[in-house]
Amino acid sequence: MKDILLGVNIDHIATLRNARGTTYPDPVHAADIAERAGADGITVHLREDRRHIRDRDVRLLAETISTRLNLEMAVTDEMLAIAEQVSPAFCCLVPEKREELTTEGGLDVAGNQALISDACTRLADAGIAVSLFIDAEQRQIDAALACNAPYIEIHTGQYAEATTEAASHQELERLIDGIRYAHQAGLKVNAGHGLHYHNVKPVAAIPELVELNIGHAIIARAAFDGLDRAVADMRALMQEARLSAQRA
Ligand SMILES: CC(=O)[C@@H](O)[C@H](O)COP(=O)(O)O
Ligand SMILES: NCC(=O)COP(=O)(O)O
């Protein structure tokens, strides 16, 4: 079984910076620390309201990181044009509502097939690998296949927000089934949202997963332990989970 990769989302370094309008902490500096601590990639979400990551951050990250940039964005002409200019290795298309505190669910690919298919084609023509951020539903997975997206990222928010052991187990089973179905259909499958140090291992153990994108929990832990340690500890948990699954 292959190692599982860690994409570190540094959105909330920018949240802290923007809280006072200072130049620090700089997401570009954070990306360097995360990469040296073992991050396999850097993820940022350039939201339409620029509440955290700003256009300058995306441009400089694309020019400076050593691993690869995963740019999360809404399916809009503005964002597609920015992606074509910046040319990140990956673009992950996500749903976005201005009033949301954070991403609340997966992209409705099935209900917006033509729009998202056109966006996938436009990004692929620019040499960018496209990932669609979707719920673990067969209908959405089939729609992602029809859009010729090479990757999907399964939304793990409901699993992360489960409040009982039974609900958590039920959500994990739903993730396992969806991820297996997508893998067998030929998609490369990532996952993310709401994962932290106490819920990541069961997800990291899912053998068909390529990468986890994790941000909020790592940046929160960094406030106490430092970013390098927070990244290294998360990566160690993920590798432990994979090794245990291999031995099982
Ligand atoms: C798509 C997703 O689940 C996150 O990567 C997203 O970036 C969350 O948005 P915030 O970082 O603004 O919470
Ligand atoms: N796509 C998920 C991501 O990039 C990070 O989400 P979170 O760990 O900040 O919830």
Report residue 43 CA to chain centroid gap. 6
Which atom of ligand 1 is closest in space to residue 213's alpha carbon? Answer: 5
What pTM was estimated for this model as a whole? 0.97
ipTM associated with this complex: 0.96
* pLDDT tens digits along 116-171: 999 999 999 999 999 999 999 999 999 999 999 999 999 999 999 999 999 999 99
Q: What is the DSSP string of 134-154?
A: E-S-HHHHHHHHHTT-SEEEE
Ligand nearest to the CA of 212: 2
Residue whose entry in the numeric block shows the structure tokens 């201005």: 98
Report the pLDDT value the prediction gives residue 33, as an integer from 0 to 100: 99
Residue nearest to atom 1 of ligand 2 (CA): 192
CB-defined site of ligand 2, < 6 Å: 9, 43, 153, 192-195, 213-217
CA nearest neighbour of 160 among 152, 149, 168, 148: 168
CB-CB contact of 18 with 210 (8 Å): no
Which atom of ligand 2 is closest in space to residue 157's alpha carbon? Answer: 10
Distance 173 CA to ligand 2 centre (A): 20
Tell me, yes or no, if 193 is annotated catalytic.
Answer: yes
Q: How many helices (H) and strands (E) does the chain have?
A: 11, 8
Is the CA virtual torsion 96, 100, 102, 106 positive or negative? negative
Report the pLDDT value the prediction gives residue 204, as an integer from 0 to 100: 98
Tell me, yes or no, if 153 is annotated catalytic.
Answer: no
Distance 12 CA to ligand 1 centre (A): 9
Distance 194 CA to ligand 1 centre (A): 9
Residue whose entry in the numeric block shows the structure tokens 């992360």: 160
CA torsion angle for 87, 69, 180, 96 (degrees, to 10)? -80
Point out the residues of the chain with pLDDT beneath 50: none
Kindly list the distances between the CA atom of residue 201 and the CA atoms of 59, 193, 206, 244, in Å, as whole numbers in the listed order.
33, 14, 9, 10
Ligand nearest to the CA of 42: 2
